[in-house]
Structure 1
Amino acid sequence: MSATPGSSMRTPRRRVAGLGSARSGTGHFWLQRVTALANLLLILIALPIVIWAAGQEQAQTLAILGHPLVAIVLLLLIFSVCFHMRIGMQVVIEDYVPAEGMKVLALIANTFFTIAVGSAGAFAVLKISFGG
């Protein structure tokens, strides 16, 4: 059997079963790196703001954190960190949970957990930002 251009390297059994590369490993790898870089940049922006706000009175802290640009940075940071956390835990679950049923449940729980954490963080920032 010679390899012709465009032919598959999978065995006939794998072609029939439809098994092969999921082709998502590289995408996850790069997405993990991009979110890590975004997290680094956003933390470098947000950390001085949070440190500065921490030494103020409550009203002044709320005013600082309620500023639209600060709120946007914090929301982007929350979104990026939660997305990065979800991707990282997904890789760990896929690699180390052997039972297929438990793996699916863990992946679903991972998604719901990160949505809950992100939503709680976004709610807090929006509540402060809108003066609630």
Structure 2
Amino acid sequence: MSVSPGSSMRTPRRRVAGLGSARSGTGHFWLQRLTAIGNLLLILIALPIVIAAAGQEQAQVVAIIGHPLVAIVLLLLLFSICFHMRIGMQVVIEDYVHTEGLKVLALIANTFFTIAVGSAGAFAVLKISFGG
């Protein structure tokens, strides 16, 4: 049996069931790379802040984190890292969890976990930044 150039390699059952490529893998790939680049740039900006705060008294660290530009950098870094983590774990779950119900639960837990981590970190930075 020969396959014509324009025909699909999927079986008739797969075509009817709509199973096959979701065509979202490339988007995830590039989004993961873009967030990695963003993380790298933000870490390079945040590293001098962390070095300046290392070994300081609590009041001095609060003053450093309380500066608006520092708080913005830390919040952007936190958001970018959490988003990058969520995408990465989603790919791992989709590739290695084969039971459909467990996969859905793991994806939901992954999303809630990253939101919880990001929210807790953002709350801490904002509380320090606004002097609460």
Q: What TM-score, normalized to structure 1?
A: 0.91
SS of the residue 1:82 aligns to: helix
Q: Greater CA deviation, 15-24 or 121-130?
A: 15-24
Q: Greater CA deviation, 117-126 or 57-66?
A: 57-66
The answer for the alignment partner of 1:90 in structure 2 is 90
How many Å separate the matches in 2 of 1:18 and 1:113?
31
SS of the residue 1:20 aligns to: coil
The answer for the alignment partner of 1:80 in structure 2 is 80
How many Å separate the matches in 2 of 1:55 and 1:9?
62
Which structure 2 segments of 5+ residues have no match?
Answer: none
Deviations 1:104-124 (A, max 9, x none): 000000000000000000000
The answer for the alignment partner of 1:63 in structure 2 is 63
1:59 deviates by 1.4
The answer for the alignment partner of 2:36 in structure 1 is 36
Aligned amino acid, residue 94 of structure 2? E
1:1-132 to 2 correspondence within 5 Å?
2-3=4-5, 10-132=10-132
How many Å separate the matches in 2 of 1:2 and 1:24?
26
Deviations 1:75-118 (A, max 9, x none): 00000000000011111111111111100000000000000000
1:15 deviates by 2.4
Q: RMSD value over aligned CA atoms?
A: 1.5
1:12 deviates by 3.4
Aligned amino acid, residue 118 of structure 1? G
Q: What TM-score, normalized to structure 2?
A: 0.91
